[in-house]
Amino acid sequence: MTADDAALERLVDEARGGDAEAFAAIFDRYHEPVYRFIASRIHRPADAEDLTQLVFVKVLEALPRYESRGVPFGGWLFRLARNTVIDHVRTHRETADLEQVFDRVDQDRGPDEWAMTRQELESVRVALASLTDEQREAIALRYFAGLSAKEAATAMGKQEGTVRGLQFRAIAALRRHLGIEVADVSEIPPGVGGRTR
């Protein structure tokens, strides 16, 4: 256990006991990663913000019953986030709205740059849509939310190796779809696809 893990464990224990400052510290630590994860799945920023707040309400309600049992707190929290997104999608039949992504792009670009950006974003959207749901989720948790493989595995209810495999296959599929060639195996990060240091 790292010092950072021990500090987080102390914060969680204090928050479980009703310490508002400890909960605020947990919120500060996880708010941005949770928002990034949700925004990668829900394409309207206002909905992503609302759902992020809802996740933390759920965390506050469930925290007194939380027990570690070897599960990283971040994985538990992101499982709540994942379930919140699933519930939202089921209820609202969320569909990807590419225009929402374009609204976030710098408006100061010229027409040529704007057209190129639209083409690139559309290519990425199509490539992401070609992945399986589990591959998209693994990518969202690992890269948009910044979770470790262990935390992502907890959030997805899978083994860590399974998540790494999903991530590796998703990256390979995205590269193929986007026509990106990997020059050599040294460009693949350690621990991905069975590669070790």
Could you tell me the domains of the chain? 1-95 (1.10.1740.10), 132-197 (1.10.10.10)
Q: What is the pLDDT of residues 160-197, one digit of tens each?
A: 899 899 988 988 888 888 887 755 444 555 555 444 44
What are the residue ranges in the chain where pLDDT is below 70? 1, 93-111, 114, 117, 182-197
Residue 191 three-state SS: coil
Q: Which two tokens stand for residue 143?
A: 């890269």
